[in-house]
Amino acid sequence: MKKMKNKKLLKLIVILGPTASGKTELAIKLAKKFNGEIVSADSRQIYKEMDIGTAKPTKKEIKAVPHHLIGIIKPNKDFNVAIYKRKALKAVRGLIERKKIPFLIGGTGLHIKAIVNNLKFPEVPANKKLREKLEKKTREEVFAIYKKLDPQGAKFIDRKNKRRLIRAIEVCKATKKPFWQQRKRGKPLFNVLQIGMELPKNKLEQRIKKRVEQMIKRGLEKEAKSLTKKYGWGLPALQAIGYQEWSAFAKASADKKDYFSSLAEKQKKKIKEKIILHTIQFAKRQMTWFKKDKRIRWIGNYQEAEKLIKNFLLK
């Protein structure tokens, strides 16, 4: 790809924030206003078939503003942040060539940081045997293994993200070096404006509860059933919130032909409550991550975001 001559076009707008904070609605409105398109920075929406549980944008939203990196790979295919970075950069540069303003939207902190900070990741292929072995262990056991291999990195990694822990162990064992030592920051690729969507705690929790209710009504149970029937319970991609909770009762029903049909309404209610709780906890972890980056401009409404973008694009 040819190097851009007009440096004014080499600008990237990031809209980030915790899950259910209204990023998608805000980003679509802003992208329409400023002749932009959206590149997703969501580590789950990138998968095909996982639509309801990942709160993918609707067909109407995608028609209003083109979205990139939504539903592009199967859940059973290997995927990591290094692969994401390559695909995201290709999408962003493609938009800039077409004189569109690229909007990077999402709540996956590491994916956003990979682009904003131009992080360099070790190219290590998946180790299927190691992954299968680690998948059988609990998150706590996997974290303990990683901590021994990379004590410094263990202070920063999301210890609740089993998939990321497994990848970190995989890299450590393959390279014989600490994982976090290999994540180097490169020269900035873009002039970036990071806008964070922040809501009061009680309002965010209300939005999360409402979203989960909508997911259940739209057929989250049916989607989880279809995915687990096709791929099994152990698929790493299905350890995401909204899917993993359905497996909580699976062991007790393992001998039954159709686990989902055996679920009582009382159990379904408990599953819904767990999804809500886990989502609220996840949103807190997202905010903890984002608040470490002092470059993020936090806003509470569209008008504030519009003003920031206007000033940014005029520079």
Tens of pLDDT, residue by residue over 265-308, are 888 899 999 999 999 999 999 999 999 999 999 999 999 999 99
CATH code, domain with 214? 1.10.287
CA atoms in the 13 A half-sphere facing the CB of 128: 3
d(CA 234, CA 243): 11
Residue 40 located in a structural domain: no
Looking at the structure, tell me whether residues 239 and 271 fall in a common domain: yes
Looking at the structure, tell me whether residues 220 and 248 fall in a common domain: yes
Contacts of 189 (CB under 8 A, 6+ apart): 89, 115, 118
Residue 38 located in a structural domain: no
d(CA 299, CA 29): 15
Residue 158 located in a structural domain: yes
pLDDT at 121: 84
Residue 134 located in a structural domain: yes
Q: What is the pTM of this model?
A: 0.86
Looking at the structure, tell me whether residues 162 and 231 fall in a common domain: no
d(CA 105, CA 33): 16
- Residue written as tokens 């309404």? 265
Domain boundary among 113, 148, 182: 182
Looking at the structure, tell me whether residues 156 and 218 fall in a common domain: no
Looking at the structure, tell me whether residues 172 and 217 fall in a common domain: no
What confidence category does residue 249 fall into, taking pLDDT thresholds of 50, 70 and 90? Answer: low
Read off the pLDDT of residues 237-246 as tens digits, 9 standing for 90 and up. Answer: 888 999 999 8
Looking at the structure, tell me whether residues 230 and 278 fall in a common domain: yes
- 175 CB neighbour count, 10 Å cutoff: 13
Residue whose C-alpha is closest to residue 15's, from 37, 45, 35:
37
Residue 64 located in a structural domain: no
Looking at the structure, tell me whether residues 241 and 170 fall in a common domain: no
- Sign for the CA dihedral angle at 140, 152, 293, 56 comes to negative
Read off the pLDDT of residues 72-81 as tens digits, 9 standing for 90 and up. Answer: 999 999 888 8
Residue 297 located in a structural domain: no
d(CA 221, CA 227): 10
What confidence category does residue 126 fall into, taking pLDDT thresholds of 50, 70 and 90? Answer: confident
Question: Under DSSP, is residue 308 helix (H, G, I), strand (E, B) or coil?
Answer: helix
Looking at the structure, tell me whether residues 221 and 169 fall in a common domain: no
Looking at the structure, tell me whether residues 160 and 219 fall in a common domain: no
Looking at the structure, tell me whether residues 212 and 274 fall in a common domain: yes
d(CA 311, CA 315): 7
What confidence category does residue 6 fall into, taking pLDDT thresholds of 50, 70 and 90? Answer: very low
Looking at the structure, tell me whether residues 135 and 205 fall in a common domain: no
CATH code, domain with 130? 1.10.20
Residue 266 domain boundaries: 201-283
Domain boundary among 136, 155, 182: 182
- Residue written as tokens 């805000």? 26
Structurally, how many domains does the chain consist of? 2
Residue whose C-alpha is closest to residue 89's, from 120, 115, 119, 123:
115
Looking at the structure, tell me whether residues 168 and 209 fall in a common domain: no
What confidence category does residue 152 fall into, taking pLDDT thresholds of 50, 70 and 90? Answer: confident
d(CA 182, CA 174): 12
Residue 44 located in a structural domain: no
Residue 25 located in a structural domain: no
